[in-house]
Structure 1
């Protein structure tokens, strides 16, 4: 192979951003075939300890890398030409398995691409790494009977989050610069924060959904990346109409450069008044807010006191009404023995009562009125809060075996009580961007959520751009995971 570095330089090449990678492909200092082989080594090596791959499609990737090298030579390269991409197992790729991490559906194979996969392929990207998710994507961690436990490259005893945890872990392990995720209750933002990534939950309609998901307005697909510039790059490729979707909005590309925040008013509430927020998460959040102040923003705390237990219950009921019980009703008692504990628990709940989508719409309106009164109506352009209350989360945490967690001396529900993401799935037209803020005392990344009013995507990207420029987080700049044996 040519142009392949060794030692520390190899890590630097492995962790190249897509933006830098494209520049090197264009100037000829690196080519897609050689680069793909570097990542293939990283992809196979991480599996022994991190276990973030549901499948590796290396020969398919190699063939596409050769095609990309030819296109660069001919001058026909496309916007993401030759860039390897991680695809969440839930996201359909024609011909790839799609069991949703369930032994019950182990033989299911996707018969068509998800619209965002079509967009990646049209842009010249190379999907080759299929990332793990929990069974039916209904857990905030990433483990299942089918795939086992996915571990955090930063500190392997701890959770990568979920349900896009395999995507977050694979990005942190350096197997590609871009990944897809999906978000029903924080499934992009939780692993983005716990793995040190940027992740974007776009407002519903910004990206084309899969056929049949048009009424799941709480759930969207979105990009996950190690750098802010890559998040812009990927979001611009993924966004906009697709022939398979009738709910997608027209789209104007996001800017690639943003000015400072002079005069912008930003509201924040660390945890909606929840007393269990760990001090290291709040410390890192306050450092990030100070960075935004240095960039010219006026940042002020507002008093939002939301019942996170109520929000989590109402959201989960709505998702069950539209999504979860669809699988449960078709599973026989014999097949139920194959389920992971948390999906078996949800199956039992499905037989006990009929959930409804209507309370989620009513509660979303209530939350919006509170935001209108205290944030948007007061002249604030953006809102910021932490992504979760704690990083002290075992990789194999089982909320059925341990229904509550002790966080800072407070008991919280083990399913959703430790995350601060679900409100914005009820407020599903709000754009929300997760950004890294540093490392916790456990060596696990921490993150924050940047929120704007309905369909104001550009504002959250402007704030995130300034956060990146402020440099208060050094993750994947000066700090990288050290992946050895399990702790």
Structure 2
């Protein structure tokens, strides 16, 4: 096996169990890969390699003794936002450069308890408040598919680590698209579970935009990690009982009715992304689903107002508090986020007015999902943002149209508003600049399993490349991978 860093996690577990592969061999390969590519990609905020190798040896013994746990021996990269007791807790900010965590995030606790090895932590923008990943603290994280572009954000380090082969699985969090945007930009799979499915630390557990989720290179791998991190937690009052598990076998969409929305309303969509989204719809028809093209009819101006009104009530003030004390150390984009969200919230009329906007935005989605089992639509309107650009003074142009705010280029925040809907991003192809594109698979409220079935069907009919250097084309579909078992390893 010459491509160990890109081995699917479910396949690695099978090989561990059969004793054809050692966790030490996989961890060594992943570490060597990181040492080779990290100088350019810069996806890892912290490397814990020596400890990880010791834990891999312990995992090797667990397989020898016949007592492996669900993630035993897998290298898992944790988003730096998720604290680990005794390790730095810096939020990508110079203001917190010396902070050390006193508690461990429930997601990390569960991964470790399941035998996963946190061998690295991944970069984010400052305070996770941007859809790109660079900061004064960690520098610039680049997209492995095209280093002139960002991997997206705020879970950009996790997406870049998966795409560059420096982790088998990764964690993310999503308050406006922060899992789905980097998953789309890096050709990976990312899941925003419905609100309450995965525990979140207070006080943001009470923010219905906030979700912790799983990221991977395959649908089955993403489900594997999701099944470990889901479930109630004593410190999160909104965490749901009972824990819901994604089924073992995935991909049957025969008889499902799927709504295909080329656009959610008046977003600007680049031709490459439109074509790739249409191809996913065609693939689902080939897989046995009934797919109807629909119009949703939302206005992105309304979605932006609702989103930033919400941010202005909770997320923006949390950044603003730090800015009041450490403003000169913060990035311009973090300062702009705090002031912009506050201004929009004041203009709109505050949190209550924002909730009224949110209700109006969900109405057509709810009606659509009453008639269809799921909805598919683009994740973003353009294939990525330029690496290092803050989009404070620079306006983003999509499809020849200059946007008022760069976040208008994503179609993700709609489903933070519709927070109870599960949403899975899967790759849809690549754009002419070499950057991957993605589609969102949106399920009915709390129907996690259906979006994974649909994602697995897309993966089977329209497979994607894992390695940025494996494709033979910079446009559209990438060469098919060998057939993969879509059964989640236990």
TM-score normalized with structure 1 length: 0.92
1:288-309 deviations in whole A, cap 9, x for unaligned?
A: 1111001111111111121213
Q: In the aligned structure 2, how far is the partner of 1:464 from the partner of 1:352?
A: 39
> Where does residue 358 of structure 1 map in the other structure?
352
Tell me how far apart the structure 2 counterparts of residues 133 and 85 of structure 1 sit (CA, whole Å).
Answer: 16
Provide the residue aligned with 2:239 in structure 1: 248
Q: Does 1:205 align with 2:196?
A: yes
For 1:351 and 1:368, how far apart are their aligned partners in 2? 23
Q: Counterpart of 1:83?
A: 74
Could you say which residue in structure 1 is the equivalent of 2:320? 328
Work out the CA distance in 1 between the residues paired with 2:323 and 2:385. Answer: 30
Q: Secondary structure at the match of 2:444?
A: coil
Asked whether the 8 Å contact 2:151–2:384 carries over to 1, the reply is: no
| Other-structure match for 1:368 | 362
The CA deviation at 1:114 is: 0.7
1:393 aligns with 2:395: no
Whole-Å Cα distance in 2 between the matches of residues 127 and 71 of structure 1? 17
- 1:14 maps to 5
- Unmatched 5+ stretches in structure 2: 473-490
CA separation of 1:242/1:480 partners in 2, compared to 1, >3 Å: closer, same or farther? farther
Deviation at 1:61, TM superposition (A): 1.1
SS in 2 for 1:451: strand
Structure 1 equivalent of residue 423 of structure 2 = 432
Match of 2:485 in 1: none
The answer on whether the counterparts of 2:302 and 2:357 sit within 8 Å (CA) in structure 1 is no
Question: Could you say which residue in structure 2 is the equivalent of 1:307?
Answer: 299
Could you tell me whether the CA contact under 8 Å between 2:323 and 2:335 is conserved in 1? Answer: no
Given candidates 179, 187, 191, the residue that maps to 2:182 is 191
Cα 1:107/1:478, change in 2 over 3 Å? closer
1:298 corresponding residue in structure 2: 290
Q: How many angstroms does 1:478 deviate by?
A: 9.7
Asked if the contact 2:308–2:345 (Cα under 8 Å) also holds between the matched residues in 1, the reply is no
Counterpart-to-counterpart distance in 2, 1:105 and 1:204:
28
State which drifts further: 259-268 or 107-116: 259-268
Q: Is the 8 A contact 1:266 1:300 kept in 2?
A: yes
Q: Which moved more, 1:264-273 or 1:200-209?
A: 264-273
Q: What is the match of residue 221 of structure 1?
A: 212
- The answer to whether structure 1 residue 475 and structure 2 residue 465 are counterparts is yes
What stretches of structure 1 of length at least 5 have no aligned partner? 483-487
Contact 1:405 1:412 in 2 (8 A): yes
- Structure 2 match to 1:116: 107
**C-alpha RMSD over aligned residues:** 1.9
Distance 1:426 1:46 in 2: 37
Deviation of 1:351 (Å):
7.4
CA distance in 1: counterparts of 2:468 and 2:164, whole angstroms? 15
What secondary structure does 1:47 align onto? helix
Shift of 1:219: 0.9
Preserved contact between residue 172 and residue 481 of structure 1 (Cα < 8 Å)? no
1:356-391 Cα offsets, whole Å, 9 max, x none, are 333332222212221233x123x2111010001111
Task: Answer whether contact 1:136 1:324 (CA < 8 A) is retained.
Answer: no
Alpha-carbon spacing, 1:49–1:330, altered in 2? closer, same or farther (3 Å): closer
Q: Is 2:279 the partner of 1:287?
A: yes
CA distance 1:274–1:126, shift in 2 (3 Å): same
Measure the CA separation in 2 of the matches of 1:289 and 1:395.
30
Residue matched to 1:318: 310
Cα deviation for residue 354 of structure 1 reads 6.3
C-alpha offsets along residues 71-107 of structure 1, whole Å, 9 cap, x if unaligned? Answer: 1111111110000101111011112211110101111
Moved more, 55-64 or 165-174: 55-64
**Distance change >3 Å, CA 187–CA 369, structure 1 → 2:** same
How big is the shift at 1:349? 4.5
Aligned to 1:415: 406
Shift of 1:274: 2.6
Cα distance, 1:327 vs. partner?
A: 3.4
1:3-45 CA-to-partner distances (Å, cap 9, x unmatched) read: xx6xxx1xx1110011011111111111112221111111222
What do the CA deviations read for 1:249-280 (whole angstroms, capped 9, x no partner)?
11231112135322211112112233621111
1:324 alignment partner, SS class: helix
Shift of 1:248: 1.2
Counterparts of 1:128 and 1:309, CA distance in 2: 42
Cα distance change, pair 159–123 in 1 and its aligned pair in 2 (3 A): same
> 2:91 touches 2:127 (CA, 8 Å); kept in 1?
yes
TM-score in terms of structure 2 length: 0.91
The verdict on how the C-alpha distance between 1:351 and 1:462 changes in structure 2, with shifts beyond 3 A counting, is closer
